[in-house]
A and B are shown apart, each in its own frame.
Chain A
Amino acid sequence: MTVESTAARKPRRSAGTKSAASASTTGTKSAASRRAGAAAGKSPGATGGEPQLVQLLTPEGKRVKDATYDPYVADITPDELRGLYRDMVLSRRFDAEATSLQRQGELGLWASMLGQEAAQIGSGRATRADDYVFPTYREHGVAWCRGVDPTNLLGMFRGVNNGGWDPNGNNFHLYTIVIGSQALHATGYAMGVTKDGADSAVIAYFGDGASSQGDVMEAFNFGAVYNAPVVFFCQNNQWAISEPTERQMRVPLYQRAQGFGFPGIRVDGNDVLACLAVTKWALERARNGEGPTLVEAYTYRMGAHTTSDDPTRYRGDDERAAWEAKDPILRLRAHLEAANHADESFFAELEAESEALGKRVRDVVRAMPDPDHFAIFENVYADGHALVDEERAQFAAYQASFADAVEGK
């Protein structure tokens, strides 16, 4: 990542402090397990009350063995583990800053990724530079991993553009607001990768709500029929605005893949190591010509759907508290500390870097100029269009009429 650091305020939640880390164990965990278990319990293959998911780090930060997925993270170094931690802390810091900026009136809206850092950083770090990412609109952590300057994500939320970054600059497509559409774009792109004879892979991000969309189903099917090198990465954050997963599906989400003829797998979406390993596995399948994979990252949207949403109308604090106990950042911190992979100075430096990032984001957003009026007419067409030209000229004449009036008086 190319983010300069410095310092500033304390993170508003978790991440930074040891006391928070020590408070992160047990607590209301059982409630969360029950809820997760209920979803998995609908699966014919599910056992007991626990959801079947790949986990390499427990919520307490304990490394657990998994014969299938351990090889994908077997050679991970302490430095890389610290890197994952840093990614999660900084992307959460960025996210919190954006939420604040919305509250201050600098952004019109913000869709927070709070709680989904492990799913996004783990999967994002599994991608290769030549892979291509098709996000929804909440993948700020994935954008971070792809090297997209986080301030570039804010233009659309401030209302100065509708995206605007160069998708080919980091192989990170524009945010897609209409739910699920991008799954088809990813699949088509992956079909093109195959035609080119390349061994790149494509990853499409979407959520539990999007899994109800026909476009996502069609993407699954096209991906399967053409054996496209695409990974369907679903962050099941339990809520599609106010609707729980029970309103979206009657079988565990990952099992949908089976009906299309490719594997689906559920991973602990709050376990960055497991998300990294499983996504690497899925991307490797794609590269090897083995076709699509559905990864369901089982996680939780800790915040509101967007800053316009009020989750108190549809869910209780106890649920959130249960998931806070499984916080993705705290569990990796616990692991780093237990393994002596990080000392106080690491955390202190990261906090300083985090605050610097917050400050930079603030400064950039506040200085972000409104677009030129004539931007309305820019890039409507690549090859031009007579009507756009005519209306641009009319608009110019209209604008100029005010200048004349002012000059006249």
Chain B
Amino acid sequence: MTTEKMALAKAINESLRTALDADPKVLVMGEDVGKLGGVFRVTDGLQKDFGEERVIDTPLAESGIVGTAIGLALRGYRPVVEIQFDGFVFPAYDQIVTQLAKMHARALGKIKLPVVIRIPYGGGIGAVEHHSESPEALFAHVAGLKVVSPSNAGDAYWMMQQAIQSDDPVIFFEPKRRYWDKGEVDKDAIPGPLHKARVAREGADLTLAAYGPMVKVCLEAAAAAQEEGKSIEVLDLRSMSPIDFDSIQASVEKTRRLVVVHEAPVFLGTGAEIAARITERCFYHLEAPVLRVGGYHAPYPPARLEEEYLPGLDRVLDAVDRSLAY
């Protein structure tokens, strides 16, 4: 075993490098991904090593980036597209939803669209407007897309490998405020399935389900609750489409309580779907309604207010208390 400790951003960089090395059809494309290495340096050094033909600086036009990536995929390439920030994806939303997601079905399966769209997402970095959003539900709602988000460096490395190998389009949400968090990466590991949830911490009294940047918050909440004698299980969902309901169900049948946590607005978010499904699957196991902690039905606020908007340790623990009070 050859584990190495590295930042989440570096793990994605290494994963892209592995993929570019292994398959000449893999391309990296996006705004500033070349010489600059991306605004977060996730693609740092890749153009230098693989050339401008494979690590492609594009014009500043998101629809154009995704639309041409679709064309490249039709030609047999496997483009990995970078959208610079979450709030910049919407010019490409039509190409993603109307074309990328549906083309395989439209062709009755005769063509495949192995396109990965990387989106740094979420808040907590004190950014200006449009740089802190969590639009994953808008993509998970669309049949034909797969939506994933790693929470740690090891998962980031392997989930990117698997996303690139997928013959389906994958929207790959990268928790930008965790880019610099270090974790173990084992490049020789045999990874589990891409869309399977992971038990990040075992517990008996309540399940916290989260993904991406909120997994860390939930782990901290579980540790804090432990001091009060509460045993909290933390599930890292990893995939928002498909969602691993079986793993959530198994956990809830054990703990009988579920709180779903995400940065995205609660209304019609991933948590809403999980609450509905788990209520249906675990009706007789539940001791409390499924609760949700997330953003509000308001535009992502200016940076000075984001601490109030984002679910933090206290808001998660508040929901834990409310659930346990039933």
Is A bound to B? yes
- Partner-B contacts on A (CB < 8 A): 161-169, 173-174, 176, 178, 181, 183-193, 195-196, 214-215, 218-219, 221-222, 225, 378-383, 385-388
User: Are A192 and B103 in touch, CB under 8 angstroms?
Assistant: no
* Residues in A neighbouring B58, C-beta threshold 8 A: 222
Min Cβ gap B61→A in Å is: 5
B302 at the A interface (CB under 8 A)? no
In which size bucket is the chain B interface?
A: 35 or more
User: Are B242 and A164 in touch, CB under 8 angstroms?
Assistant: no
Residue in A183, A191, A218 whose beta carbon sits within 8 Å of that of B72 in the complex: A191
User: Are A386 and B195 in touch, CB under 8 angstroms?
Assistant: yes
Min Cβ gap B315→A in Å is: 29
B167 at the A interface (CB under 8 A)? yes
User: Are B168 and A214 in touch, CB under 8 angstroms?
Assistant: no
User: Are B74 and A189 in touch, CB under 8 angstroms?
Assistant: yes
21 A-B contacts (beta carbon < 8 Å): A162-B105, A165-B110, A166-B107, A166-B110, A184-B63, A184-B68, A184-B70, A184-B71, A185-B67, A185-B70, A188-B69, A188-B71, A192-B71, A192-B76, A196-B75, A222-B68, A379-B109, A385-B146, A385-B168, A385-B242, A387-B242
User: Are B74 and A167 in touch, CB under 8 angstroms?
Assistant: yes
* Residues in B neighbouring A183, C-beta threshold 8 A: 67
A218 touching B63 in the complex, CB below 8 Å, given contacts A382-B104, A382-B167: yes
- Residue among B63, B64, B99, B166 with most chain A CB within 10 A: B64
B198 at the A interface (CB under 8 A)? no
* Residues in A neighbouring B245, C-beta threshold 8 A: 386
Residue in B67, B91, B168, B244 whose beta carbon sits within 8 Å of that of A381 in the complex: B168
* Residues in A neighbouring B69, C-beta threshold 8 A: 188
Q: Beta-carbon contacts of B84-117 to A below 8 Å, as 1s and 0s?
A: 0000000100110011001111111111110000
Min Cβ gap A296→B in Å is: 21
Question: B214-255: which have CB < 8 Å to A?
Answer: 241-245
B127 at the A interface (CB under 8 A)? no
User: Are A164 and B64 in touch, CB under 8 angstroms?
Assistant: no
B204 at the A interface (CB under 8 A)? no
Which residue of chain A lies nearest to B64 when distances are taken between CB atoms in the complex?
Answer: A218
B144 at the A interface (CB under 8 A)? yes
A218 touching B143 in the complex, CB below 8 Å, given contacts A166-B110, A192-B75: no
* Residues in A neighbouring B168, C-beta threshold 8 A: 381-383, 385
Report the bound CA distance from A221 to B144 in whole Å: 28
* Residues in A neighbouring B70, C-beta threshold 8 A: 184-185, 188
Report the bound CA distance from A168 to B69 in whole Å: 17
Min Cβ gap B87→A in Å is: 18
* Residues in A neighbouring B59, C-beta threshold 8 A: 218, 221-222, 225
* Residues in A neighbouring B64, C-beta threshold 8 A: 184, 187, 215, 218-219, 221-222
* Residues in B neighbouring A222, C-beta threshold 8 A: 58-59, 61, 64, 68
B50 at the A interface (CB under 8 A)? no
Report the bound CA distance from A381 to B91 in whole Å: 24
A215 touching B67 in the complex, CB below 8 Å, given contacts A185-B74, A383-B167, A386-B195: yes
B53 at the A interface (CB under 8 A)? yes
B180 at the A interface (CB under 8 A)? no
Min Cβ gap A370→B in Å is: 15
B77 at the A interface (CB under 8 A)? yes
* Residues in B neighbouring A181, C-beta threshold 8 A: 67, 94-95, 98-99
Residue in A191, A196, A221, A380 whose beta carbon sits within 8 Å of that of B71 in the complex: A191
Known: A189-B72, A218-B67, A386-B245. 4 other contacts (CB 8 A): A163-B107, A187-B64, A191-B75, A222-B64
A221 touching B61 in the complex, CB below 8 Å, given contacts A185-B67, A189-B75, A381-B168: yes
Pairs A-B, 9 closest by C-beta atoms: A188-B71, A184-B67, A192-B75, A188-B68, A218-B64, A379-B109, A382-B167, A189-B71, A386-B242
* Residues in B neighbouring A382, C-beta threshold 8 A: 104, 109, 112-113, 166-168
Min Cβ gap B270→A in Å is: 13
Question: B147-201: which have CB < 8 Å to A?
Answer: 166-168, 195
A174 touching B107 in the complex, CB below 8 Å, given contacts A188-B75, A381-B144, A385-B146: yes
A173 touching B110 in the complex, CB below 8 Å, given contacts A178-B94, A181-B98, A381-B146: no
User: Are B67 and A187 in touch, CB under 8 angstroms?
Assistant: yes
Min Cβ gap A168→B in Å is: 7
- Residue among B61, B98, B105 with most chain A CB within 10 A: B105
User: Are A219 and B107 in touch, CB under 8 angstroms?
Assistant: no
Q: Beta-carbon contacts of B44-63 to A below 8 Å, as 1s and 0s?
A: 00000000010000110101
Min Cβ gap A89→B in Å is: 30
Report the bound CA distance from A196 to B242 in whole Å: 35
Min Cβ gap A397→B in Å is: 15
* Residues in A neighbouring B98, C-beta threshold 8 A: 178, 181
A167 touching B111 in the complex, CB below 8 Å, given contacts A214-B63, A221-B59, A222-B59: yes
* Residues in A neighbouring B74, C-beta threshold 8 A: 167, 173, 185, 188-189, 192
* Residues in B neighbouring A186, C-beta threshold 8 A: 71
Min Cβ gap A201→B in Å is: 13
User: Are B111 and A192 in touch, CB under 8 angstroms?
Assistant: no
Min Cβ gap A260→B in Å is: 11
Report the bound CA distance from A165 to B99 in whole Å: 16
* Residues in A neighbouring B104, C-beta threshold 8 A: 379-382
* Residues in A neighbouring B67, C-beta threshold 8 A: 181, 183-185, 187-188, 215, 218-219
Which residue of chain B lies nearest to A169 when distances are taken between CB atoms in the complex?
Answer: B110
User: Are A192 and B146 in touch, CB under 8 angstroms?
Assistant: no
Report the bound CA distance from A188 to B53 in whole Å: 13
Which residue of chain B lies nearest to A221 when distances are taken between CB atoms in the complex?
Answer: B59
* Residues in A neighbouring B71, C-beta threshold 8 A: 184-192
User: Are B144 and A192 in touch, CB under 8 angstroms?
Assistant: no
User: Are B106 and A162 in touch, CB under 8 angstroms?
Assistant: yes
Report the bound CA distance from A386 to B166 in whole Å: 15
Report the bound CA distance from A381 to B112 in whole Å: 9
User: Are A164 and B107 in touch, CB under 8 angstroms?
Assistant: yes
A192 touching B167 in the complex, CB below 8 Å, given contacts A166-B107, A225-B59: no
Report the bound CA distance from A298 to B194 in whole Å: 51
Residue in B61, B77, B167, B195 whose beta carbon sits within 8 Å of that of A195 in the complex: B77
Min Cβ gap B21→A in Å is: 17
Min Cβ gap B63→A in Å is: 6
* Residues in A neighbouring B61, C-beta threshold 8 A: 218, 221-222
Which residue of chain B lies nearest to A224 when distances are taken between CB atoms in the complex?
Answer: B59
* Residues in B neighbouring A193, C-beta threshold 8 A: 75
Min Cβ gap A150→B in Å is: 18
* Residues in B neighbouring A385, C-beta threshold 8 A: 146, 168, 241-242
